[in-house]
Amino acid sequence: MAADGFPKGRGTPEGAASDLARAFINSDVELFSKTCIGLYASNGPVEYDSFMRATIESMKQETTRKDLFPQGPTSIAKVFAARHLSRNGPASYGYAAFGFLDVMFVDIKVRLGNGKSALNRTMVIKEKDEKWYAHPAPNVSPLLSYGLSEESASVADFSEVYDVEK
């Protein structure tokens, strides 16, 4: 658990998704790079590489700015338990094409600088090293992310699935 009371690290899907949110909240390029899945041979490796480079550059610029964008995330408010996609295709495709051990998603509610909140859905992938990684741009691989945006809203908090020390 991180100091904010939410999961961290690549030992759980919720930890990887929470670390991705923290990377954006803190414009932390190192955490972003460590948390995200590496380049893999999908239908869009060039598109994914471009996304990663542009995001890292944007994060670097953000760390030099003093002003806070009101629509930007400031903290994690809630982490939901990871879920498998309703359709079998994405996980099967990930296993067959790339050797992924699992494909899931995590919904995370973040607080915004303007006092509102937003829900972010993060695809997470378990690699051969038995660690979970966030996929920040699942749209570059439509077969892997098929149905992700159509999933119902998450209801179970991560603490309902894991024994969490308070």
DSSP-based three-state secondary structure for 80: strand
Report pLDDT for 27. Answer: 82
- Residue written as tokens 């964008």? 69
Nearest residue to 135 via CA among 54, 77, 52? 52
Q: Is the pTM of this model over 0.75?
A: yes
Answer for the pair 57, 27: CB distance below 8 angstroms, yes or no: no
Q: Does domain 13-160 have CATH number 3.30.479.30?
A: no
Report residue 85 as tokens: 């996609």
Going by their DSSP bridges, the two strands 132-135 and 117-126 should be labelled as antiparallel
Contact 105, 121 (CB under 8 A): yes
Q: What is the pLDDT of residue 160?
A: 85
Residue 159: predicted pLDDT:
87
**Alpha carbon distances (Å) from 62 to 16, 25, 114, 115, 136:** 22, 10, 18, 20, 18
The pLDDT profile of the chain, 166 residues, written as one tens digit per residue, is: 888 889 999 999 999 999 999 998 888 888 888 998 876 655 556 676 777 677 777 766 665 554 555 577 889 999 999 999 999 889 999 999 889 999 999 999 999 888 899 999 999 999 999 999 999 888 888 888 999 999 999 999 998 887 766 5
Domain locations in the chain as residue ranges: 13-160
C-alpha angle 105-136-39 in degrees, rounded to nearest 5: 110
